[in-house]
Amino acid sequence: MTNDATRSDQSRRIVLTGAAGGVGTMTRPLLEAFYPGLVLSDRVAPKDLRPGETFVKADLTKPDEIAAVVRGAHDVIHLGGHSVEGSWDQILNANIVGCYNLFEEARKAGVKRIVFASSNHAVGFYPRKRKIGTDVTVRPDSRYGVSKAFGEALGALYADKHGIAVTCLRIGNVGPKPIDLRRLSIWISPDDLVQLFRIGLEHPEVHFDILYGASDNAASWWDNSRAWQLGYRPTGRGEDYRAEAEAEQVKLAPDPVGDVFQGGAFASAEFTNDVERCGP
């Protein structure tokens, strides 16, 4: 992210939900340099609270608890929720009711910016052979993917109706390196994800944007030009890990459905259709 797009005001209260989870744990040490004094929230306490961080326990399904978390906040990075496929009850509570509670309590508290952790699974039924931008119709591959499409729609509503600057990141897979062939196309390093968080928290042009949460992957299925326009300059390159990812891939069983679609195993789980009759 270029420096002219950066205007960190270190006194503002920034809330990170889902702080105890995998992505929160990987990104908090990196966020600290830009945003000391993050307010962390989750329904379980992070094991490694860092100096300067404060933790407020809250369940996303409880509006009064979320209200207490976002009170006085300027911005929210919303990572909290059920992060894989789950039962309808799990998805409904954590990702639909929970996401609504977060946006609504944030609106009431006067929050200015929200970065929402969406997912590639909102568009997981696009075939791998097709490159897609962020303007395609959603094609979720799971109940989880549907909940991320819901979160994106909710974000658009709160941006248009209430003027909150909302950035939805369709995150691929966060980690130190891509761990198989699919991840070579969708991997994002924690550093690059933090760049995208910063764009969402700082960039003056953001009103409502959907960006792909991916590093600079030559094998990418996504056109992420809007992110580049906003100053995103990823440093992670999936290709640097191709040999390792290919070596891991041969250990995996072929998946006749999942291997066709971007969502992989999320697309093949519970699948009862014919591959020729699904996807756009």
Ligand X SMILES: NC(=O)c1ccc[n+]([C@@H]2O[C@H](COP(=O)([O-])OP(=O)(O)OC[C@H]3O[C@@H](n4cnc5c(N)ncnc54)[C@H](O)[C@@H]3O)[C@@H](O)[C@H]2O)c1
What residue ranges bind ligand X (CB under 6 A)?
A: 18, 20-24, 42-44, 59-61, 79-83, 94, 98, 117, 119, 171, 173-174
Pairwise CA distance, residues 190 & 195, whole Å: 9
Min CB(142)–ligand X separation in Å: 11
Pairwise CA distance, residues 30 & 27, whole Å: 5
In the complex with ligand X, which residue's Cβ is closer, 42 or 141?
Answer: 42
| Direct distance between the N- and C-terminal alpha carbons of the chain, in angstroms, rounded to an integer | 34
Min CB(11)–ligand X separation in Å: 26
In the complex with ligand X, which residue's Cβ is closer, 44 or 218?
Answer: 44
Give how far Cα 111 sits from Cα of 14, 30, 130, 136, 263, Å: 9, 23, 37, 29, 32
Give how far Cα 245 sits from Cα of 82, 187, 253, Å: 27, 11, 14
Min CB(7)–ligand X separation in Å: 26
Q: Which residues pair with 183 in a beta bridge?
A: none
Tokens of 135: 């303007």
Check residue 232 and report its DSSP letter.
-
Check residue 253 and report its DSSP letter.
P
Min CB(119)–ligand X separation in Å: 4
Cβ-proximal residue to ligand X, closest one: 21
Pairwise CA distance, residues 166 & 26, whole Å: 22
Catalytic amino acids? 144
